[in-house]
Structure 1
């Protein structure tokens, strides 16, 4: 039998540590602290702890355990299903942990658990270095990395998680450990794809890459050219070199009708080869907008700034597609023609090259074959009837399902799609569940995706490297 939360005791203990950085629904700062990018999720946490360092995180985790208060973790706050907020629980708000430190000697960068892609790229820009990111600057780098991290550098440098060299983690019992290839290697394996299901990640260490600029931009085509453009896109991505990663899909157009988009990013040294690749994409139709030029990588991500407005209501569905063939082209084109909202969109993320050459067992991420990630984004204004928009997303997902691979990208799967979470990890599923049981046997962390514990506790093998800043106070 689970003990009832002792919120008064938890409040007193946390207030002693955090002062006015502990927020309750009665505090003036509470509404801002629980406001998310997606306005649809409704959750009312009892407490929000605005922590400033890993020591405070560890203390808060111990208090939550002692007082039986459910936990959630907020970093970027961009999970579309709103799982950063736990109804009636304690939110560990990491948004103050945004420090970025580059080691010029090794080219490695250490990033706070609350840092966004924008924070990291801005810090690296003076050095003409980058990390692998997603496509939106406002997204938290930790949440993106822990479950995958598709982005414009996928073909050249792999997923964001393929570039994670180590992490500082607060475990469910409040211990602080470092997970890397030699310290807690099983935790390090699980973090790279298993999401935030094993602890609170307070810092991450990444490999960076020299990249002064990329040939990148946006090509927009009218909807009546969708079939031809997507057919050609399917052929182009099948033979694309590592240096070329191309997004595609449908975006809201200025007249309310969707437009087809292609967003190439070429990072190779051969400028002529890059321009030839863009010319082939340009020739797939008659562009309405043709804006491709050398850009700093930080500015590549600015292309998607403002594309999705904070406060609107969102529902996402996703499929993994092995190729863009005729049935997929037909399903996508039909979906664009039937869109129910002028804000909705569909995006295809290109997985190939370096990301596909990582062995499926090297990380927890379960799909290493070339594929396209379809992201179906239903959007509507607050106050609108959500039913038609939800139905559009569900219908589009169902139309793609017969042509899709099992599972789906865990960061985008809905909370109820537990069967697809299991399929997403393929041969890594059992090992991942054992890791969950080892590091979080009581199921304290229910992150994206949620993993069930498995079987009896697994005996610990060795000890992780304690964080040198750990201290016994508050235990």
Structure 2
């Protein structure tokens, strides 16, 4: 049943009037297709919305926002549905679902890419690659572009071309008042600032315009070693990546093979000249005795799918992250010790090195504040049996707690499984006060609350 925030049921006549005017599908709990519409990738999230509004046109988004505001509904916004915290869903309220709004168009002359808010990264790659262009995005093709961008966006091109939000040129946004506005450097620039890393606090982005970067074929892939070589591999990775050219993005991970064998690996993406890339990667490929060296030239869209199988649909997930002050020997030893205690072969610990273009953006130029951070540790617990929830969550929290002395005190919010106001405030740092002012201007009633929420002043 569709309920207001205070628990009162919404009148049937109001719901039916909304459904008649709605161009897309407006699904109630008894409708065919409702159960599929309320499921997302993370099986840990099991919520029952009162209404799922699957928008077919931008006017549907506006209509759903107005209906929700007029009926005092809790609102969740679904783009790709890949956010680990499950913010794409809610109980009893309305889900404004953009997944059918997934069109992508490319202007190769201007090198711009226009993307609707429900598109996935794979949708964008399919449209841009024939033009020799790419948008710097994430690392899993099933991820939604909207949540990724609004939370910052880190992927294979981050060191050369910056974060996804750094490549954003403009947005069309439906605000809490139901108004469709454009945000860019010249139109509503304060809102544009907040959308680049401030999460979904200020409205529903129905369309993004990105700068396309000249990337077509990259030199990339995975190199795997036995887990007992983890100390040597992680120290080599730390020393090598610190002086590597910005065309190279490389992550290290304490993971398991598809057969469940514990391993340590590096995954590499070089986006410059391939001949030069072979020379750059030669020391990596000569290091140690790997179990697997799958580095090769490949189309960039193939690079974007390499990790898809590592995050299968409908597993249980609980994630955390922390930005490190540095990747010291003590930190490496701690990571290995905790990774060796993992009880699911799907779980892993990933070390991401940033630096480069993303770090040259000023701390206050966008809402994303952690520009000085070089290393992010992602702790990604995944498992298949719901009865094991407690032990996998405990493993994640134990490693996060152990890393606190080495952390800069902040987390990457797109990795956050829980809503924690102290963590959110710390992540935004000195930008938080400005975000509060922006929230008061565009959403003073906190209509958009299911996000990395910045609360307005009372």
TM-score interval for Structure 1 and Structure 2 normalised by the shorter chain: over 0.9
> 2:368 matched to which residue of 1?
365
Offset at residue 267 of structure 1 (A)? 1.2
Indicate which of 392, 408, 416 corresponds to 1:405.
408
TM alignment of 1:19-418, pairs within 5 A: 21-269=25-273, 271-418=274-421
Bigger Cα displacement from structure 2, 202-211 vs 407-416: 407-416
Native 8 Å contact 1:415 1:449 kept in 2: no
Native 8 Å contact 1:169 1:177 kept in 2: yes
Native 8 Å contact 2:170 2:183 kept in 1: yes
Gapped regions of structure 1 (runs ≥ 5): 456-475
Native 8 Å contact 1:258 1:336 kept in 2: no
1-side partners of 2:57 and 2:97: how far apart?
A: 11
Aligned residues: 454
How big is each residue's C-alpha offset from its partner over 1:57-95, in whole Å with a ceiling of 9 and x where there is no partner? 001100111111111100100111111101111001100
Q: Secondary structure at the match of 1:209?
A: coil
TM-score (norm 1): 0.93
How big is each residue's C-alpha offset from its partner over 1:373-399, in whole Å with a ceiling of 9 and x where there is no partner? 111111111333211111111111112
Instruction: Mark the CA change 1:75 to 1:416 in structure 2 (over 3 Å): closer, same or farther.
Output: closer
Q: Secondary structure at the match of 1:230?
A: helix
Offset at residue 10 of structure 1 (A)? 4.3
Instruction: Mark the CA change 1:206 to 1:283 in structure 2 (over 3 Å): closer, same or farther.
Output: same
> 1:466 matched to which residue of 2?
none
How big is each residue's C-alpha offset from its partner over 1:277-308, in whole Å with a ceiling of 9 and x where there is no partner? 32222334311010111111101012112112
Native 8 Å contact 1:5 1:68 kept in 2: no
Cα RMSD of the aligned pairs, angstroms, is 1.6
Q: Secondary structure at the match of 2:321?
A: strand
Offset at residue 419 of structure 1 (A)? 0.6
1-side partners of 2:394 and 2:22: how far apart?
A: 44
Instruction: Mark the CA change 1:44 to 1:182 in structure 2 (over 3 Å): closer, same or farther.
Output: same
1-side partners of 2:55 and 2:259: how far apart?
A: 45
Q: Secondary structure at the match of 1:42?
A: coil
Offset at residue 272 of structure 1 (A)? 4.0
Query: Is residue 8 from structure 1 mapped to residue 12 from structure 2 by the alignment?
Result: yes
Q: Secondary structure at the match of 2:387?
A: coil
2-side partners of 1:2 and 1:120: how far apart?
A: 36
> 1:448 matched to which residue of 2?
451
Instruction: Mark the CA change 1:9 to 1:449 in structure 2 (over 3 Å): closer, same or farther.
Output: farther
Query: Is residue 422 from structure 1 mapped to residue 434 from structure 2 by the alignment?
Result: no
TM-score (norm 2): 0.96
1-side partners of 2:393 and 2:197: how far apart?
A: 28
How big is each residue's C-alpha offset from its partner over 1:422-457, in whole Å with a ceiling of 9 and x where there is no partner? 1111111100111111100110112431111135xx
1-side partners of 2:453 and 2:61: how far apart?
A: 21
Q: Secondary structure at the match of 1:25?
A: coil
Native 8 Å contact 2:316 2:386 kept in 1: no
Instruction: Mark the CA change 1:413 to 1:127 in structure 2 (over 3 Å): closer, same or farther.
Output: same
Offset at residue 259 of structure 1 (A)? 1.0
1-side partners of 2:415 and 2:11: how far apart?
A: 32
Bigger Cα displacement from structure 2, 97-106 vs 16-25: 16-25
Instruction: Mark the CA change 1:382 to 1:18 in structure 2 (over 3 Å): closer, same or farther.
Output: farther
Q: Secondary structure at the match of 2:59?
A: helix
Q: Secondary structure at the match of 1:149?
A: coil
Native 8 Å contact 1:359 1:368 kept in 2: yes
Native 8 Å contact 2:79 2:119 kept in 1: yes
Q: Secondary structure at the match of 1:143?
A: helix
Native 8 Å contact 1:198 1:439 kept in 2: yes
Gapped regions of structure 2 (runs ≥ 5): none
1-side partners of 2:5 and 2:348: how far apart?
A: 42
Native 8 Å contact 2:198 2:367 kept in 1: yes
2-side partners of 1:351 and 1:170: how far apart?
A: 32
